[in-house]
Amino acid sequence: NGLILEDKVVGTGTIATKGKRTSMRYIGKLTNGKVFDKCVSGKPFTFRLGVGEVIKGWDLGIAGMKVGGERKLTIPFNLAYGTRGAPPDIPPRADLIFEVKLLDVKK
């Protein structure tokens, strides 16, 4: 599917699995390095894994991480915002890079 996962730090806590509520920190970049979104302080970004609340690349790329883990996700456009992109920040057919950290996993 073209998704590339690179573990920077392997966590030691609870494993993120489908249906669990995950709390994340992240930086999202285009392949040219331009940051289009981030959540690095304050309230973490939370979502339920594997149920379509986020782009497909996140649902696939976060699964299996353990709390405390840090991972780089290189997500092809078809698992991100597709041929339309997400104007104005994400152009059509844009592959995306996310640096993510898993802070917590809950039921």
Distance of alpha carbon 77 from alpha carbon 82, whole angstroms: 5
Q: Is 90 known to be catalytic?
A: no
Q: Is 37 known to be catalytic?
A: yes
> Which among 15, 27, 36, 89 is annotated as catalytic?
36
> Which among 27, 37, 45, 47 is annotated as catalytic?
37
Distance of alpha carbon 37 from alpha carbon 104, whole angstroms: 20
The DSSP output letter for 80 is T
> Which among 26, 59, 62, 90 is annotated as catalytic?
26
Q: Is 15 known to be catalytic?
A: no
Q: Is 36 known to be catalytic?
A: yes
> Which among 62, 75, 90, 98 is annotated as catalytic?
98
Q: Is 55 known to be catalytic?
A: yes
> Considering Cα of 29, then 74, then 59, then 107, what sign does the dihedral take?
negative
Give me the active site residues, please: 26, 36-37, 55, 81, 98
